[in-house]
Amino acid sequence: MPKNGDQYLSSLKDGRSIFLDGALIENHVDHPAFRASVRSAASLYDFQARSENLRKMTFPSPTTGLPVSRMWQLPTSYSELVERRSALEAWAELSCGFMGRSPDHVASALSGMYMGLELFRAHGERYAQALASYYEYARDSDLYLTYAIVNPQADRGKGVGEQASEFVAAGVVDEDEEGITLQGAKMLATACPMANEVMVAAIQPLKPGDEKYSFTAMVPMNAKGLKLLSRKSYEAAAVSRFDNPLSSIFDENDSVLYFDSVKVPWSRVFVHHDVAMASAQWHQTPAHVFQNYQCQIRLMAKMRFLLGLARKVTETNGIIGIPSVRETLGQMAAEVSLVEGMIEAMEISGSHYGKYFTPNPRRLYSAMVLSQQLYPKFVHQLRELAGGGMIMLPSSASDFANPEIAGYIDKTQRSPATDSLGRVKLFKLAWDAVGSEFGSRHLQYEMFYAGANMVTRGHAFRTCNWEQATDMVDQFMSTYCERDQKG
Ligand SMILES: Cc1cc2nc3c(=O)[nH]c(=O)nc-3n(C[C@H](O)[C@H](O)[C@H](O)COP(=O)(O)OP(=O)(O)OC[C@H]3O[C@@H](n4cnc5c(N)ncnc54)[C@H](O)[C@@H]3O)c2cc1C
């Protein structure tokens, strides 16, 4: 059987140093700030381990023959790519798209790196061997990985090597025959409480002289010296499941990572002291494409969910028959379909990278640019349709337990489509999705998880088929000259 939720939860009880609200948390798995969210992650493993889901969600490990998650599958054809996608889509649906860094995200990046093993071989045999054996280990143990690949903001007007002190951003402070030692911070690693290990790497451009910041290493969450500095827990702040239906269970906490002299053995180092390789590992292998393809699949599930919310809000408020409301819903439906269509397009126009079949980068980067811009607009439309209904709500579910207040709730929460409880339940869900602190963090996430929009537009520029476009212009201009008469 593949790994199940209980096995996964036990694997998290590893003594990691996670700090929250002024304290070092002991046993974060059962702590009120993380408890329900790590169990939501566990439910992904339970889902894939169910006998009726085995075929859809898993494939046999090439080394052990045992079923492991399809997130590790390396597709060699269009149909395998689509088969893998339906597993990722099924996982995304379980969190209505609200778990952005579910295990399939970094697994997709690592699988993409593995597809580009030859590039790592050119960087050094030792690094290729480390990557190959780590990929197999992670796959066969169905590990939950996260990553921290961006440096802390500090002074963004200066390069990583020009900051006020040498190790604001994590870098290699020392190395010996056993491995490297890391010192400094990485900006964020989402899902730190849920992950078994973190990939630490650099994706922002580096220049000669920045070699100490150009490394890729796999670090267990309980590594000596690794400090996880958690942001505020929305799960802890959630009033109840009814009041905060999403933040109470899907809060994949983002943490700043501080490496305080963390030793990493060479067997877990894939890139070292090479600024060109730090970039090539993402863009000259399918890694970046695979990780962001997973993001679009997850976003598709989320947008379908938000579309469903928008429709139910308009039915609940009795405005579904108004032509302009139907137009707004039609616009939102078209936007969901755009994301769905882009995913289908990436797949159908995919191509071979060696023996592996990979999504079309040009379609992917277009989808990233457009969906980063689309999400805030999409959320805005939902807010516009919902009006003050997301605010005109009882303070908490406890109000229903007081007969006097419950009576007033019944008189004030009216709807042509549902009773007062149904109305409150729906609008509390809508607010948690788009208006609560959790919902607002999601807006920031969709806008920035893969870099600011200028970054994704840069990728679209880099991968565009310019020749096709400019050839058409040249071809057309060659059909006339300054001596030609009109007509
Ligand atoms: C919710 C959330 C979760 C995240 N999770 C992870 C994670 O799990 N792992 C991880 O590695 N990272 C994670 N990140 C970090 C993410 O990768 C970065 O936020 C992203 O790369 C953008 O970098 P930045 O935030 O430093 O923004 P900046 O690069 O500082 O950009 C912010 C703004 O500054 C301006 N700006 C900055 N530089 C320039 C320039 N050169 N030219 C023009 N304008 C400029 C632009 O207006 C830009 O929008 C997460 C971020 C968020 C918000």
pLDDT, residue 487, reads 75
pLDDT, residue 50, reads 97
Q: pLDDT tens, 408-455?
A: 999 999 999 999 999 999 999 999 999 999 999 999 999 999 999 999
Residue 355 has pLDDT above 80, yes or no: yes
Tokens 């492991």, located at residue: 68
Alpha helices by DSSP H, 173-286: 234-237, 275-283
428 — phi, psi (to 5°)?
A: -65, -40
Q: Where residue 1 falls among pLDDT bands split at 50, 70, 90?
A: confident
Task: Supply the residue whose CA is at minimum distance from atom 51 of ligand 1.
Answer: 449
Q: Where residue 179 falls among pLDDT bands split at 50, 70, 90?
A: very high
Mutate to test the pocket of ligand 1, among 144, 160, 187 (most ligand atoms within 8 A of CB): 187
188 — phi, psi (to 5°)?
A: -150, 145
Task: Supply the residue whose CA is at minimum distance from atom 48 of ligand 1.
Answer: 452
Q: pLDDT tens, 213-271?
A: 999 999 999 999 999 999 999 999 999 999 999 999 999 999 999 999 999 999 999 99
Nearest in space to 434 (alpha carbons), one of 422, 423, 446: 446
pLDDT, residue 135, reads 98
294 alpha carbon – ligand 1 mean position (Å): 19
271 alpha carbon – ligand 1 mean position (Å): 23
Residue type, 33: A
**Can you tell me the mean pLDDT for 361-371?**
98
> For ligand 1, is residue 150 a contact (CB within 6 Å)?
yes
**Can you tell me the mean pLDDT for 281-304?**
98
Q: Rounded distance, CA 143 to CA 344, Å?
A: 28
Task: Supply the residue whose CA is at minimum distance from atom 44 of ligand 1.
Answer: 454
**Can you tell me the mean pLDDT for 8-12?**
98
Task: Supply the residue whose CA is at minimum distance from atom 16 of ligand 1.
Answer: 449
pLDDT, residue 486, reads 87
Mutate to test the pocket of ligand 1, among 232, 449, 456, 457 (most ligand atoms within 8 A of CB): 449
> For ligand 1, is residue 199 a contact (CB within 6 Å)?
no
> For ligand 1, is residue 201 a contact (CB within 6 Å)?
no
Residue 320 has pLDDT above 90, yes or no: yes
**Can you tell me the mean pLDDT for 292-318?**
98
> For ligand 1, is residue 154 a contact (CB within 6 Å)?
no
- Break the chain down into helix, strand, coil percent, rounded to 5: 55, 15, 30
326 alpha carbon – ligand 1 mean position (Å): 36
The pTM of the full predicted model, rounded to 2 decimals, is 0.97
- Report whether 135 contacts 290 (CB < 8 A): no
pLDDT, residue 401, reads 98
Q: pLDDT tens, 122-160?
A: 999 999 999 999 999 999 999 999 999 999 999 999 999
Q: List the beta bridge partners of residue 271.
A: 216
Q: How many residues does the chain have?
A: 487
H/E run at residue 180:
strand 179-190
Q: Where residue 195 falls among pLDDT bands split at 50, 70, 90?
A: very high
Q: Rounded distance, CA 75 to CA 357, Å?
A: 6
Nearest in space to 446 (alpha carbons), one of 340, 391, 369, 387: 369
59 alpha carbon – ligand 1 mean position (Å): 35
Task: Supply the residue whose CA is at minimum distance from atom 47 of ligand 1.
Answer: 452
Mean pLDDT computed over every residue of the chain? 97
Mutate to test the pocket of ligand 1, among 153, 156, 230 (most ligand atoms within 8 A of CB): 156
> For ligand 1, is residue 293 a contact (CB within 6 Å)?
no
Crossing angle for the helix pair 287-316 and 78-94, to the nearest 10 degrees: 50
Q: pLDDT tens, 69-111?
A: 999 999 999 999 999 999 999 999 999 999 999 999 999 999 9
> For ligand 1, is residue 234 a contact (CB within 6 Å)?
no
Residue 291 has pLDDT above 90, yes or no: yes
> For ligand 1, is residue 394 a contact (CB within 6 Å)?
no
> For ligand 1, is residue 190 a contact (CB within 6 Å)?
yes
Three-class DSSP labels, 16-55: CEEEECCEEECCHHHCCCCHHHHHHHHHHHHHHHCHHHHH
Closest-lying ligand 1 atom to the alpha carbon of residue 153: 26
Closest-lying ligand 1 atom to the alpha carbon of residue 149: 11
> For ligand 1, is residue 442 a contact (CB within 6 Å)?
no
3-state DSSP assignment of residue 146: strand
> For ligand 1, is residue 443 a contact (CB within 6 Å)?
no
Task: Supply the residue whose CA is at minimum distance from atom 49 of ligand 1.
Answer: 452
Each as own residue / partner, the long-range contacts of residues 45-54 (CB below 8 Å, 24 or more positions apart, any chain) are: 45/2, 45/3, 45/4, 45/5, 45/7, 45/8, 45/142, 46/4, 46/5, 47/90, 47/91, 47/94, 48/2, 48/87, 48/91, 49/1, 49/2, 49/3, 49/4, 49/5, 53/90, 54/2
